[in-house]
Structure 1
Amino acid sequence: MSTGATTTVEIDTTLFITVSGPPGCGATTLCERLADAMGCPYVSGGEVFREIAEDRDMSLNQLTAKADENDEIDRAIDQRLQQIAEKWGMANKPFILESRLAGWLAGERADLRIWLDAPEDVRLARIEERVETEAEMRVREVSEAGRYQSYYDIDIDDREFYDLNINTARWGKEGVFNLVRTALEEYDPDVDEGAFSTPNLNP
């Protein structure tokens, strides 16, 4: 679990939010800021994946290749994230779940599902200082998309059911945060006519 840096901004909400998107989309930055403003924790699927890689003394690329061999690693991560979603979906407390599949795994339990993205050249520039290389990022994206299609028969690029779909290259970090902040503060369950439905996944 992670929380963000100290800030004076506060968001009074009990919403359970999912944040998804490809590497370099700005999900971690947004989640840290939101977690601090909402006074809540968040769980990242990427952190879980990296922890498994460290535990097995493997690089992200090596673990991705291992995950390609069978579904054990992916399903273990997804089951854990789905259990977390089930817990917080009934808690009536603010919470943030972040992963490529967070919106799918949380399903109807989530109050607000967000997809972040940016043009590939922008995302590549953002990950220049990460341990993961450009080649590894490309391999991971293609590999994950194929596995999600194989395991769950879903298209990870299907964004129809997301409540917010933001190109983070068009706004700065503060701008993206304020877009989401406005959505949270303006949300009124009494006028909510319904979210798009999502199929249930069975990791």
Structure 2
Amino acid sequence: MTDDDLPTRSVDSNLFITVSGPPGCGATTVCEGLSTALDCGYVSGGDIFRELADDRGMSLSQLIAKTDETDEIDRALDRRLRTIAEKWGASNKPFVLESRLAGWLAGNRADLRVWLDAPDEVRVERTADREEMEAEMRVREVSEAGRYRSYYGIDVDDRSFYDLAINTARWSPESTLEMILSAVEEYDPEVDEGAFHTDDIEV
């Protein structure tokens, strides 16, 4: 999605939205669109991960490999994201937080949790120009799932607490964004009886 493709309409909302999904799910595109439509900022877990790599003078591949040796990297990332969630969750202003664990880290501060996904072959094609290779991406996903279960007791394959789960291969980026914006516009906290309670996880 280019700047010309971003939504022309704006949405008046103060919702704290989390967006999660595996590499190549389309989260970056959606978050950019949400940020424009809501006139708010967003933070990406990938950007924080890159900051951690820069802080340590390491490449992304080196830092990814390091996460298999120690839990320090994962927990440092999650602590930064948790701090951001706490800040914006209490601000009563619109904000978008994107990471694999964003919905969990935000806990009950999140107003709307979104999960994005797509078939493996689609995600591989979308990430073909990234630093990661296909095999590395798949290994990281399996490794992350095991670490999240070990650290926090989280099953990342559990979609039950997401408010929206979208297969982004079935709709265009613009259509995917429109679905989420429609959910944001129609959200009414007075009739919200289906929110999934999430206890804070210790990071």
**So what's the TM-score if we normalise by structure 1?**
0.94
Partner amino acid for 2:76? Answer: A
Alignment match, 2:39? 39
Which letter maps to 1:118? Answer: A
Query: Structure 1 stretch 162-171 or stretch 190-199: which is displaced more?
Result: 190-199
1:29 aligns with 29
Deviations 1:102-146 (A, max 9, x none): 000001000000000000001001001112211221121111111
CA distance in 2, matches of 1:170, 1:54: 36
Q: Distance in 1 between matches of 2:131 and 2:35?
A: 25
SS in 2 for 1:115: strand
Aligned to 1:65: 65
SS of corresponding position for 2:196: coil
Q: Deviations over 1:54-108 (max 9, x none)?
A: 3333332221121111111111111111111111111100000000000000010
Distance 1:129 1:139 in 2: 18
8 A contact 1:122–1:169 mirrored in 2 = yes
Superposition CA RMSD, Å: 1.4
Q: Does 1:173 align with 2:173?
A: yes
After superposition, residues 92-103 of structure 1 pair within 5 angstroms as: 92-103=92-103
1:7, CA displacement in angstroms? 4.9
**Farther-moved stretch of structure 1 (101-110 vs 149-158):** 149-158
CA contact (8 A) 1:61 1:140 kept: no
Does residue 161 in structure 1 map to residue 161 in structure 2? Answer: yes
1:138 is aligned to: 138
Find the counterpart in structure 2 of residue 196 from structure 1.
196
- Displacement of 1:200 in angstroms is 2.0
For residues 10-56 of structure 1, the C-alpha deviation after alignment (integer angstroms, 9 at most, x for no partner) is: 11100000000000000000000100110000011111112222333
Q: Aligned residues: percent identity?
A: 67
Change (3 A) 1:177 1:7: closer
Aligned position for 2:86: 86
Q: Secondary structure at the match of 2:191?
A: coil
Matched position secondary structure for 2:150 = helix
2:40 partner letter = C
- Residue 106 of structure 1: aligned partner: 106
Q: Distance in 2 between matches of 1:158 and 1:182?
A: 24
Return the alpha-carbon distance in structure 2 between the equivalents of residues 129 and 81 of structure 1. Answer: 26
String of CA shifts for 1:160-196, please: whole Å, max 9, x gaps. 1000000001100011001001100111112211301
For 2:56 and 2:200, the matched residues in 1 are separated by 31
| Structure 1 equivalent of residue 56 of structure 2 | 56
